[in-house]
Structure 1
Amino acid sequence: MRLAEGAYAILGDLPAKATTLVEVPVGAGDSLGTRIHRLSSVLSIAEAVGRELRSDDSPALVVGGDCGVEYAAVRHALTPRTAVVWFDAHPDLHSPRSSESGAFSGMVLRALIGDATDEMPSLEPGPVAEPLDPSRVVLAGTRTFDDAEDLYVESRRVRSVSSLDLAPDDVVAAVADSGATEVYIHIDLDVLDPGSLDGLLAPQPFGIEPAVLISTIAALKARFTLVGAGLCSFAPVDAAHASDDMGTILRIVGALSR
């Protein structure tokens, strides 16, 4: 419910004529015999988001909710020239077998890469047949890895820029090294240091500052074509706390939009 309230708080400050609300199923959803909790809702939302994005070819900003909404959004934007910059405290690279929580939000990047196909369901296919190549993924500000994710990052040589010394030029260089000319930017707000934003569902210490995030977005847009973006995981405890955080969030939205 905190994630829903956070998404609605952001919605209230977005331009109504340029914003579409994708309804989320009211029920909790069913695992459909898999290890992924609420999978039926994941599938329903992926279908709805994908359908909405296909109605307009312009680059879109998708606001969640949790990172699960990014599956259809990234798939929609991907071309062979696209890198995905994953600003997130967590890499979201679990498979259903390695995940202890069963939450798809912790598996979404792994699903986009297309590994663990025997464990992953067939989600909204999107406009491209090829999955995301791990060589075109850049983890930025990621600092909380489970053992299985750590091993996966090492084995697939996924690029990563630490939150401890993150600089815009380092993230730009990592994307350039992938050979990409386009970029999709995913932002889970827990990439930020908890001291700079109150409304975090799973705050992790030693995050980046909003100014660094905004500068990095600007640097990426100056070098690469932005083909889409996602903003997720705003979880204020109440309306007053949401209001306190909105200035920071709107600066991030502005950096992605202008």
Structure 2
Amino acid sequence: MHKAYTVFQGRAGDHNDLAIPGARAIGAAMARRTGIAPALIGTPEQALNVGWREELDAAMPALRDMQARFNDVFAGGAVSIAATSRCAVSLATLPAVAKHHPAACIVWFDSHADLNTPDVTTSGYLGGLALAAPVGLWESGLGAGFALDQIVLVGERDLDPFEQELIARHRIPHIKPKSDLVAELRNAIAGRPVYMHLDCDVLNPGIVPTDYAHEGGLSLEDLRTCCAAIAAHEVVGLEIAEFQNAWTPGGEPVSPEPLLDALAPILDKS
């Protein structure tokens, strides 16, 4: 199955202006590896850094364009490989995945679960609501389509009480960084097709620049091991979020190549 490459360049609840060029850098690196230029969706704009409602309204035109791109990719029978800048872009991508691959599970690599709703969020951050809307916990305006039993959480270690209770009540698989990653992934995926979301803050701080840093994360080798396990299944797509192109604003650009090397079992899957 052929792959289609996409880079999101619009606003998506950004706290700063480092993830849009980060996504562009991933797209450029993938183009060097594959010889295929990615489709660019959205136009870079400065971060607003305001509450979720204003952020969603500002992002909506670009998010709708991203959803249309994903629908086209999946309708054409391709595997989607995307650099999505921020986790909030999943508000648009996951409903498209659900439409075309309704039996898939979402393997969500992140230090957060992003399962908060507007009613319970304490931060007001749009990204913290990113998985909750596609599984029907609130209405974003971009649709849903997945159920809670289609989520597999990997690496989460900064969970709010609402999320902890939700995970426990619905027995959502939660694979922690020090777990037997391969065995637990296989059990949780249970032979289903996989759509993988990667928030780079699932990694231990200091490996790549991210907006959040929480100790006790995965190593690049852990990530590669997980990707090898996932690649043994049907993979319908991969989205890479929250890679910032520098450690500080105006800092030296950081190469995404080590990250892409860790993702190689999926990126190179034929």
1:89 matched to 2:98? The reply is no
Q: Which amino acid aligns with 1:92?
A: D
> What's the counterpart of residue 201 of structure 1?
211
Q: Is the 8 A contact 1:83 1:182 kept in 2?
A: yes
Pick from 12, 16, 20 the counterpart of residue 39 of structure 2: 20
Structure number having the greater helix percentage: 1
CA contact (8 A) 2:194 2:236 kept: yes
Aligned residue pair count: 241
Distance 1:154 1:37 in 2: 31
Give unpaired runs (5+ residues) of structure 2.
1-16
Query: Would the aligned equivalents of 1:190 and 1:200 in 2 still touch at CA under 8 Å?
Result: yes
TM-score by structure 1 length? 0.85
Name the aligned partner's letter for residue 19 of structure 2: L
Instruction: Give the whole-Å Cα distance in 2 for the aligned partners of 1:132 and 1:14.
Output: 29
- Whether contact under 8 Å (2:82, 2:239) holds in the other structure is yes
Distance (Å, rounded) in 1 between the aligned partners of 2:110 and 2:49: 27
Which residue of structure 1 aligns with residue 168 of structure 2? 154
Whether 1:219 and 2:235 are equivalent positions in the alignment is: no
Q: In the alignment, what sits opposite 2:192? A: 181
Matched, 1:47 2:57: no
8 Å CA contact retained: 1:30, 1:37 = no
User: Is the CA contact 1:28–1:41 (under 8 Å) kept in the aligned structure 2?
Assistant: no
Residue from 216, 225, 230 that aligns with 2:239: 230
Structure 2 CA distance for aligned equivalents of residues 51 and 25 of structure 1: 18
C-alpha change, 1:54 and 1:22, in structure 2 (3 Å) is same
- Structure 1 residues not aligned, in runs of 5+: none
Q: Read off the aligned partner of 1:39 and give its amino acid letter.
A: L
- Over 3 Å counting, the alpha-carbon distance change for 1:239 and 1:30 in structure 2 is closer
| Cα contact 2:84–2:241 (8 A) shared by 1 | yes
1: CA distance, partners of 2:167 / 2:89: 22
User: Given the superposition, is the C-alpha separation of residues 48 and 234 from structure 1 closer, same or farther in structure 2, using an over 3 Å criterion?
Assistant: same
One of 87, 91, 98 as aligned partner of 2:120: 98
Distance 1:192 1:17 in 2: 28
- Per the alignment, residue 11 of structure 1 pairs with 27
Q: What is the letter of the counterpart of residue 51 of structure 1? A: A
Change in Cα spacing, 1:213 to 1:148, as seen in structure 2 (3 Å) is same
SS at match of 2:163: helix
SS of the residue corresponding to residue 211 of structure 1 reads helix
- Aligned residue among 258, 261, 269 for 1:248: 258
Percent identity between the two aligned chains: 23
Q: Deviations over 1:99-157 (max 9, x none)?
A: 122222111111011013xxx3322x4xxxx6211111110011110112112212222
What secondary structure is seen at the aligned counterpart in 2 of 1:39?
helix
SS at match of 2:41: coil
Q: Distance in 2 between matches of 1:90 and 1:134?
A: 16
Which aligned runs of 4 or more in structure 1 are off by greater than 6 angstroms? none
Asked if the contact 1:62–1:70 (Cα under 8 Å) also holds between the matched residues in 2, the reply is: no
Conserved? CA contact 1:62–1:73, under 8 Å: no
User: What is the TM-score with the length of structure 2 in the denominator?
Assistant: 0.81
Paired residues of 1:134 and 1:157 also in contact (CA < 8 A): no
Q: Distance in 2 between matches of 1:91 and 1:49?
A: 22
Distance in 1 separating the partners of 2:68 and 2:224: 30
